Amino acid sequence: MIIDTQITPDENVMNFFPPKALIKSGKAEFVDTKSLRKSPLAEHIFDIGGIVSVFITSEMLSVTKSSDATWDVIKPQVMAEIMDYLSTGEEVLPDDNENSDVVAQIKGLINARIRPAVKQDGGDIVFCDFKDGVVWVEMQGSCKGCPYAMVTLKEGVEKILKTYISEVREVRNIGSLEE
């Protein structure tokens, strides 16, 4: 598999052009750990070290390295990660279209019925992801460290979401409560 590369006017940025599309359409940029959760490929590239950002379109992947890192070390590793993902057939940026209606329902219920109640106690709850029947949320504010947060999560949030949305099997907090 041949992956063409292109040095840009910025010596810390290199573009990689794989033989087939990495994503179907649009673009995605990854600059921090929160955004990395959306793309296993971007996460693996960041794991190489010395990476500042990854930008993906259907035609290319652009990597920005830190000024103290060298392309001699990073370039072959990025190419290897791209080849691995293309050979496995795994989605570089998993397509959430099949879940878009369910996600909209989840967000709607959280915003309309759950957040107002949680906010009354000085906390907040934010939708993060929905995958394989599991809704991932982040408990914030006073709810983050509250000893009753798990009860609220399981007996309140999970019960409401499972009652109204059949695709929901479980609700989990991305924070330290369930690690």
Which of 79, 63, 61 is CA-nearest to residue 11?
63
- Rounded to an integer, what is the distance from CA 94 to the centroid of its chain? 9
With contact defined as beta carbons under 8 Å apart, do 83 and 1 qualify? yes
The pair phi, psi for residue 29, each rounded to 5°, is -120, 140
pLDDT tens digit sequence for 9-48: 999 999 999 998 888 777 888 887 677 777 888 888 999 9
- Provide the pLDDT for residue 126: 84
Taking the whole predicted model, whether its pTM rises above 0.75 is answered as no
Looking at per-residue confidence, does 15 or 145 come out higher? 15
